[in-house]
Amino acid sequence: MDIGTPVPRRRMRADARRNYERLLAEAAAAFAEHGADFSLEEIARRSGVANGTLYGHFPTRRALLEALMGDRMRALAAIGQELLAHPSPFEGLTTWAHAALSHTATYRGLGTALMQAVEDETSELHMACKTVLAAGEGLVARGRATGEVRPDATAADLYALINAAAWAGEQSSKNQGERLLTFGLDGYRASNFRHG
Amino acid sequence: MDIGTPVPRRRMRADARRNYERLLAEAAAAFAEHGADFSLEEIARRSGVANGTLYGHFPTRRALLEALMGDRMRALAAIGQELLAHPSPFEGLTTWAHAALSHTATYRGLGTALMQAVEDETSELHMACKTVLAAGEGLVARGRATGEVRPDATAADLYALINAAAWAGEQSSKNQGERLLTFGLDGYRASNFRHG
DNA sequence: GAAGTATATTGAGACAGTCTCGACTTTTCC
DNA sequence: GGAAAAGTCGAGACTGTCTCAATATACTTC
């Protein structure tokens, strides 16, 4: 269940790498604290770097988010793969969904970013989202096959539910995210499905 | 089921009233089109008025939202009252929830504003939210009493679900808002509730 | 270890948005 | 018709996004 920290993909000059890492660290802190609409200018300032440098490394806010999130998302998908072996399909599904919520709730605004990225093929996060979605699909399909999960449930529904729960948790001082997810997952039970 | 248009509460000078109404009209259009973070400057520009005038009428973005939304919210609460007389408590509940979703989904970002307003007593929308919440509580309580609704469901859960569904609908090109609400409401059925 | 090159950084500047406030203008009402 | 109340104006201080030509730094090769 390890979710790693990001590492630059290509070779870089030493100073560039230093700045890259510092920027990422400051961005992670700001993201966790202020949400996805933190000020890029401030990230640069706090990293002791001109803002042009930030834009050099991360041309868009999204590029910065991908660098922060990509590895975590892929790790989440891997957890989903493992849970396909869970003895109870429904429990595997709910365990994964809660792990996904916990991941998404780490950064405010992440749910929103993920909902957009999954539909936007130009997004740097798009591929990572697809991977997560595929992991969800595996779990949902297994549940449908054993009859525990209602037949009209899709991975897209699950993905939306998880992100919506993360969103609700951000808005509310109470534990609304977990509650929404729990109630929502109960709605996935086949026993609860009414035809028509 | 009529949801009225806003009207200024206090007496105003004729020119002020003209501007007030024009600003609201432009704001409603911009809100529906661009979401809750439309540019206030542009509202003023399109209303043919200096931006100081806008700030004179609506000191904050929230004040503007309250003027736009207050009456609609109170109407929604009234619909909830009526549905207390619905022969099936659960159906009354779902009917109301869908009406609420349809209201909230009219303006992008409204769900977010409503989630915040209900917890923030300084918000201009706070009272209107409380009224809606009370309407939801009536419906949920009736369902719990007849045993159709799971005993741990609260009006706050329902409120969160509706707003989350509106949020999901905004993010997604598909009909994800309605789906989330439908699945979520199915999770409210007592038949689906597992103790422990 | 110096020169040359590829790479990275800088910061000013163009632009858009929020919000304030003192000077000014219009309406109201006696 | 004129004073007071009410409303409007718009420049300006601030924060933020993003670009780009000039400049500086690190790496490579001899």
Q: What is the pLDDT of residues A15-59, one digit of tens each?
A: 999 999 999 999 999 998 888 999 999 999 999 999 999 999 999
Q: What are phi and psi of A109, to 5 degrees?
A: 90, -5
Quote the tokens at residue B145.
């009493």
Min CA distance, B167 vs chain A (Å)?
Answer: 7
Given a cut of 50, whether residue B16 has pLDDT beyond it is yes
In the block, which residue shows the tokens 């996805």? A36
Q: Rounded to whole angstroms, what are the CA distances from A152 to A19, A180, B187?
A: 48, 20, 15
- Nucleotide closest in space to B14 (CA vs C1'): C27
- The answer to whether B191 contacts A187, with C-beta atoms less than 8 Å apart, is no
What is the CB-side half-sphere exposure of residue B38 using CA atoms within 13 A?
26
Given a cut of 70, whether residue B83 has pLDDT beyond it is yes
Give yes or no for a contact between A133 and A156, defined as CB atoms under 8 angstroms apart.
yes
In the block, which residue shows the tokens 């595929």? A134
- Nucleotide closest in space to A42 (CA vs C1'): D16
What is the CB-side half-sphere exposure of residue A184 using CA atoms within 13 A?
32
Q: Which residue of A112, A168, A188 is in closest CB contact with B171?
A: A112
Instruction: For A77-106, write each residue's pLDDT tens digit.
Output: 999 999 999 999 999 999 999 999 999 999
Task: Tell me the residues of B at the A interface, defined by beta carbons under 8 Å apart.
Answer: 112, 115-116, 119, 153, 156-157, 160-161, 163-165, 167-168, 171-174, 176, 179-180, 182-189, 191-194
d(CA A177, CA A122): 29
CATH of domain B14-57: 1.10.10
d(CA A80, CA A3): 13
Domain ranges of chain B: 14-57, 66-192
**B66-192 carries CATH number 3.30.470.10:** no
Min CA distance, A172 vs chain B (Å)?
Answer: 7
d(CA B153, CA A150): 21
Q: Which residue of A153, A161, A180 is in closest CB contact with B160?
A: A180
Give yes or no for a contact between B112 and B37, defined as CB atoms under 8 angstroms apart.
no
Give yes or no for a contact between B71 and B4, defined as CB atoms under 8 angstroms apart.
yes
SS (H, E, C) A72-122: HHHHHHHHHHHHCCCCCHHHHHHHHHHHHHHHHCCCCCHHHHHHHHHHCCC
d(CA B16, CA B10): 11
State the pLDDT confidence band at B195, using cuts at 50, 70 and 90: low
Q: What is the pLDDT of residue A6?
A: 58
Assess whether B1 (CB) lies less than 7 A from strand C: no
User: Quick check: helix, strand or coil at residue A149?
Assistant: strand
- Nucleotide closest in space to B59 (CA vs C1'): C19
In the block, which residue shows the tokens 């542009």? B42
Q: Which residue of B160, B171, B176 is in closest CB contact with A168?
A: B160
Instruction: For A120-168, write each residue's pLDDT tens digit.
Output: 888 888 999 999 999 999 999 999 999 999 999 999 999 999 999 999 9
Quote the tokens at residue A40.
């890029």
User: Quick check: helix, strand or coil at residue A189?
Assistant: strand
